[in-house]
Amino acid sequence: MDDGFRIPWFGILVALLGSGIAAIAARSLVLGIVLFVAWAGSLVVMVLSQSPPAPSRQERGSISRSNLSELIEHSGTPLLLTDRNRITIANEAAREVLGGHIVGQDVRVALRQPEAIALIDKAEAGSTTVKGLSRRRDIWRISRQPMDGDSAMIELINRTSEADISRAHTDFVANASHELRTPIASIIGYVETLADGGADEATANRFYDTILREAHRLQSLVSDLMSLSRVEAEKHEQPSARINLGELVPRAARDAAGPDRLDKLAIECAPGIAIRGDQLQLEQLVRNLVDNALKYGSGDDPVKVNLSRSVSGEVRLSIADSGEGIPAEHLPHLTRRFYRTDPGRSRASGGTGLGLAIVKHIVERHRGRLDIASKVGIGTTVTVRITELVEEPDLAD
């Protein structure tokens, strides 16, 4: 039964009473039945004639589009619904990418890319990849799926992150290969020269020293690559061990300095500071930062290592030197792998170009923040901020 039809019970009851009274007055049952059927039937016909008509195909389509709009509005994937290539629905994610003005616009004008236009003009299911849809270096996968009539659903999938990761991996392999090739080629060259027997004793000793230095550099590079790989693999696993930084920081700083540079450290650590952390990684973090500060700092002024806490419970570890400083244009790139402000000086001092990259990933794993501030001629300060561990109350007390 249609939702718009309602049986006129009150009218039927009146018809029943009226026909009954007429039958009694005329003393004819047949007359009463005939009157009731005629009366009730006319009421039903009248009600049916006033029932709302069934929605047209166009109205049904508008209802379904309204429901579809509500369904896809908060989807994280940009989605467009088109009717004869004109955008009738664009969810929130699509409007953020292409602009709120696209509703009612020709989809080919909204997308603007030749590959996308070719896909739309084919008027069949398919997909294509385009560049620069919303920003110059963006990469998007556009898929078109036909629906009823001339309608179609268009899905936009952002592939930029995947492309960036792939490019970063390619760059990393290329840089790592270059860094490994240099000491290996040096070692091979000096060994071949020594094997020919053409070097005197003094020259041979100098060659042996160079080979040993390059071997140590190769060993450090491989060690740092392995450390970086481990830290990246564990980056999303927050450590849970309780670490006393008041004890760890001075010990790791002295290890980094060694007996020859110990007098160049000025350590000041507040006691009783603890965080949730990984002991080996935090020791490596301190060693890397202190070693960098000692290498590039001033020979006259000590490297200052300071551990403190803020009123809000934030742990602040800072390592400051008074060296030459770093130009501002280099600061955003210092934590990139193999990035060096002075490649020649870095290699001469035994640097691998991975120390700050390792530090960055360790800080991220501990849900902290890394800040690097530097002024040319004044020095550099590296600050690590991590939330202090709040001790749980002893339930036994």
pLDDT digits (tens, 9 = 90+) for 243-301: 999 999 999 999 999 888 898 999 999 988 999 999 999 999 999 999 989 988 877 78
Q: What is the mean pLDDT of the chain?
A: 82
Average pLDDT on 33-54 reads 62
| 172-233 shares the fold of 57-158 | no
pTM of the model: 0.58
Q: Name the DSSP letter for residue 329.
A: G
pLDDT at 318: 95
For 218, 260, 340, the CA distances from 346, given in Å and listed in that order, are 14, 20, 7
Average pLDDT on 160-176 reads 75
**How far is 36 from 15, CA to CA, in rounded Å?**
6
pLDDT at 243: 92
Q: Check: CB of residue 326 under 8 Å from CB of residue 374.
A: yes
pLDDT band per the 50, 70, 90 thresholds, residue 25: low
- Fold classification of 241-387 is Heat Shock Protein 90 (3.30.565)
pLDDT band per the 50, 70, 90 thresholds, residue 373: very high
Question: Taking Cα atoms as reference points, which of 7, 22, 21, 14 lies closest to residue 39?
Answer: 14
Question: Taking Cα atoms as reference points, which of 272, 277, 294 lies closest to residue 363?
Answer: 277
Average pLDDT on 122-134 reads 87
Domain ranges of the chain: 9-49, 57-158, 172-233, 241-387
Q: Check: CB of residue 295 under 8 Å from CB of residue 349.
A: yes
Residue 374: partners with Cβ closer than 8 Å, 6 or more residues away: 325, 326, 328, 331, 380, 381
- Fold classification of 57-158 is Beta-Lactamase (3.30.450)
| Residues 349-369 as b or e (16 or more Cβ within 10 Å = b) | eebbbbbbbbbbbbbebbebe
pLDDT at 42: 67
pLDDT digits (tens, 9 = 90+) for 53-92: 555 555 555 545 667 777 888 888 899 999 899 999 999 9
pLDDT at 393: 44
**How far is 5 from 50, CA to CA, in rounded Å?**
9
For the ranges 95-104, 126-135, 146-155, 343-352, which has the lowest average pLDDT? 343-352
Bridge pairing between strands 265-269 and 369-375: unpaired
Higher pLDDT, 355 or 38: 355
pLDDT band per the 50, 70, 90 thresholds, residue 397: very low
**How far is 12 from 186, CA to CA, in rounded Å?**
109
**How far is 169 from 240, CA to CA, in rounded Å?**
30
pLDDT band per the 50, 70, 90 thresholds, residue 9: low
pLDDT at 1: 46
Strand partners, 145: 153
For 126, 128, 163, 259, the CA distances from 139, given in Å and listed in that order, are 17, 11, 8, 53
**How far is 210 from 187, CA to CA, in rounded Å?**
8
Q: Name the DSSP letter for residue 143.
A: E
Task: Tell me the CATH class for 172-233.
Answer: mainly alpha
Q: Is the pLDDT of residue 126 over 60?
A: yes
